[in-house]
Amino acid sequence: MSSFSRRNILSAFCMASLLGACGFTPIYGDGSAASNLYGKIEIGTGKGREFFEMRERLIERFGFADTPQYNLTYTFVADSKGLAVSTSAEITRYNLYAISNFKVTDITSGAVVFSGVVKSTTAYSATSETYPTRAAQQDARVRLATSLADKIITHISGTAAQWAK
């Protein structure tokens, strides 16, 4: 039985026409507000590996600001909770929860044009050895930072048409 059928093609065509009728436009399409932000947001810095990872991910998307119009500042706060306990009462799995507050400020006026909060969760396994557990924890924190940066990018890009000049 073939997956190619007229019904599938007709359904896809109808869905595409409905999306166009509702005002759907790609976020990163040519000339969109989100694509026009490239090189216009100065990305803030912070101390620590997590801030470095977040900044690198944000720069991947928004680029280095040659003539910045906006300033992006953000935080990184993480908390760890033991999840699984072995029969010898050792914690073998941890959940990490992170939150980031961010705001985009217009450099000219100093006004906050957009702000938000993003959250993310990940986990890592612990062993009786210190080094592998520490490496797993650091890797989980990097994953959290990257996830938070991706969510910040999505929020900024999705709302850029409302506040970007």
Which domains does the chain possess? 30-163 (3.30.160.150)
pLDDT at 2 over 60: no
C-beta separation of 110 from 73 below 8 A = no
pLDDT at 85 over 70: no
Mean pLDDT of all residues in the chain?
84
Q: Which of 101, 72, 70, 71 is nearest to 164 (CA)?
A: 70
Where is average pLDDT lowest: 2-6, 33-37, 46-50?
A: 2-6
C-beta separation of 148 from 76 below 8 A = yes
Q: What is the pLDDT of residue 111?
A: 95
Residue 113's region, left for phi above 0, alpha for psi from -120 to 50, else beta, is alpha
pLDDT at 30 over 90: no
36 band by pLDDT with thresholds 50, 70 and 90:
confident
> Mean pLDDT throughout 103-120?
96
